[in-house]
Amino acid sequence: MFDILRDNWTLLLIGQYPHGPLGGIVLTILLSLSALVIAFPLGILVALARISPFPFLRAPATGLVYMVRGIPLLMVIFWVYFLVPVLTGYPVTGFMTMLCALVIYDSAYLGEIIRAGIEALPKGQTEASRALGLSYLKTVRAVILPQALYNVVPSMVTQFVSTVKETSLGYIINVQEISFAADQINNRLLTKPFSVYLILALSYFVLCYALTQFAQYLERRVTRKRAGARARNSGATAASLADPLPTEN
């Protein structure tokens, strides 16, 4: 097992990078990070649309969330793979396909996380800021989002873990991320599938476990800060921020 690691660690880490496309775990992280960064503003929009009083905003956002909850990511990937070239007229790379699919998926999930954060805030926050004469947009920007987003940071880190795990599906459409690299190594060695796939599983484990622990640390900090705020304001309710939509892959 260690000799496999010694011979192939560059492939697992960066793919064939200097002599070929970037790959390996660096691509895995790059892919999930960019997906989350692009999906973040979209997630805020989805969350605001989901709690909006106007049905023409609420209906499409709710539709998107239920579509994403009901359709496997793999199916979304195939749709993007087939539809984007038809619609834009350009061929898309595996990386872009994966990125588009993950952005669609993550914007819905982040939307639900942010919505839970907003709904956990006391109603008085909105009322007070409107009473002070702030417009809807200013209320959202200066009062609601800063509090809600801070409270859901741990859930967003958890969502990042899910996204990292979801990038493994890139293997199916030949994106050269770490699962693909492991498959290449396995095809070359042929005789040691157990060790190769164990290395792959452990690599994901190390990365995701570290992130999960980080999320739990943040969770404790946020809880402590919210408990402090509650003690100071004596009586303000703080609903628990349970994960609105568990993810796994």
Partner 1 sequence: MKLHFDLATVLQGNYGALFLHGIELTLAMAVLAWLLSLVVGILLTLIRLTNNRIATAFVSTFVAYHRNVPMLVQILFWYFGIANVLPQGLQTLLNEYNGQFVFAVIAIGLCSAAYLSEDIRSGLRAIPYGQYEASRALGLNFLNGMRYVVLPQALRNAIPPMVNHAVLLFKNTSLAMAIGAAELTYVTRQIENETFLSFESYLVATVVYLTLSLVIMLAGARLATSYRIPGVK
**Interface with partner 1 by CB under 8 A: which residues?**
66-67, 69-75, 78-79, 82, 161, 164-166, 168-169, 171-172, 179, 183, 186, 193-198, 200-201, 204-205, 208-209, 212, 245-249
User: H helices then E strands: how many in the chain?
Assistant: 11, 0
What residue type is 142 in one-letter code?
Answer: A
Whichever of 106 and 166 has its CB closer to partner 1, that residue is 166
DSSP 8-58: HHHHHHHBTGGGS-B-HHHHHHHHHHHHHHHHHHHHHHHHHHHT-S-HHHH
- 178 neighbors 9 (Cβ within 8 angstroms): no
Whichever of 95 and 204 has its CB closer to partner 1, that residue is 204
Nearest distance in Å: CB 13, partner 1 = 17
Nearest distance in Å: CB 109, partner 1 = 12
Nearest distance in Å: CB 78, partner 1 = 6
What residue type is 191 in one-letter code?
Answer: T
Question: How far is 70 from 84, CA to CA, in rounded Å?
Answer: 21
Whichever of 183 and 219 has its CB closer to partner 1, that residue is 183
- 199 neighbors 5 (Cβ within 8 angstroms): yes
Nearest distance in Å: CB 142, partner 1 = 32
Question: How far is 12 from 161, CA to CA, in rounded Å?
Answer: 19
CA angle (158, 161, 166) in 5-degree steps: 130
Whichever of 136 and 205 has its CB closer to partner 1, that residue is 205
Which pair of tokens denotes residue 216? 């739990």
Whichever of 17 and 197 has its CB closer to partner 1, that residue is 197
Nearest distance in Å: CB 207, partner 1 = 8
Nearest distance in Å: CB 91, partner 1 = 15
Whichever of 101 and 143 has its CB closer to partner 1, that residue is 101
Residue environment code for 137-149, b if the CB has 16+ CB neighbours within 10 A, otherwise e: eebbeebbbebbb
Which pair of tokens denotes residue 1? 């097992």
Whichever of 147 and 195 has its CB closer to partner 1, that residue is 195
Nearest distance in Å: CB 242, partner 1 = 9
CA 227 to the chain's CA centroid: 27
